[in-house]
Amino acid sequence: MRSFFLAGVVFFMAFQMLVPEYALAYEHARPLTDREIIERLTRLEEGLKALREEIRAGFQAIDKRFQDVDQRFQNVDQRFQSIDQRFQTLDQRFQALDQRFQSIDQRFDQIINLMIGIVSAFAGIVAVMIGFAIWDRRTMIRPFEVKVREIEVELGDNRQKLHHLMEALRQLAQQDRKLADVLKSFALL
């Protein structure tokens, strides 16, 4: 980098030494007349007026652009307001849906409570029916139990008599063939 800089400085110095009239060129200007000065000043004033008009037009254009930008911002603001209104209506719809879901939840709770009540009532009825059946069986069987006990007691008493009767029939069957066949048919012999 340094060598490049030094080469540039050397080249510039050599150029000035070889061509000195370009390096020291100076031209004398002729003096201006009053008329030329007035004409130039007039042109300068007209140029300044034109420049002022252009600057005013530029500022007016800038003002118009700012007004356009303001109008665009107002349009954007109106769009945002309309979007905000849409969000508010959506929010209201969601609140309505939430209320509907809450009412549905309440209805489900009511239905569940009703089902629990129906199941408990059915279970109570079944329990009462089972209890009634057991009570009815016991009350119905009691008279039979009493009769069976009486019969058992009576049979217990008559067992001896029955035993003696069977012995008598067996002895008689030894003598009577018909009686023996009848007792064999009933497997009593």
Domain boundaries, the chain: 37-185
**42-51, 78-87, 124-133, 159-168: which has the minimum mean pLDDT?**
159-168
- Residue 21 confidence (pLDDT): 56
Place of tokens 């058992």: 152
Is 90 exceeded by the pLDDT of residue 117? Answer: yes
Note the pLDDT tens digit of each residue in 41-61. Answer: 898 899 889 989 998 998 899
Task: Please compute the mean of the pLDDT values over residues 132-156 and round it to a whole number.
Answer: 80
pTM of the model: 0.36
Stated as kind and residue range, the H or E segment containing 136 is helix 34-175
User: Would you place residue 30 in the very low, low, confident or very high pLDDT band (cuts 50, 70, 90)?
Assistant: confident
The larger pLDDT score, comparing residue 12 to residue 93, is at: 93
Tell me what the pLDDT averaged over the chain comes to: 83
User: Would you place residue 19 in the very low, low, confident or very high pLDDT band (cuts 50, 70, 90)?
Assistant: low
Note the pLDDT tens digit of each residue in 93-113. Answer: 989 889 998 998 899 899 999
- Residue 75 confidence (pLDDT): 92
Task: Please compute the mean of the pLDDT values over residues 107-121 and round it to a whole number.
Answer: 92
Is 60 exceeded by the pLDDT of residue 20? Answer: no
Place of tokens 């139990």: 145
Angle between helices 177-185 and 34-175 (to 10 degrees): 170
CA dihedral 18, 19, 24, 27 (to 10 degrees): 170
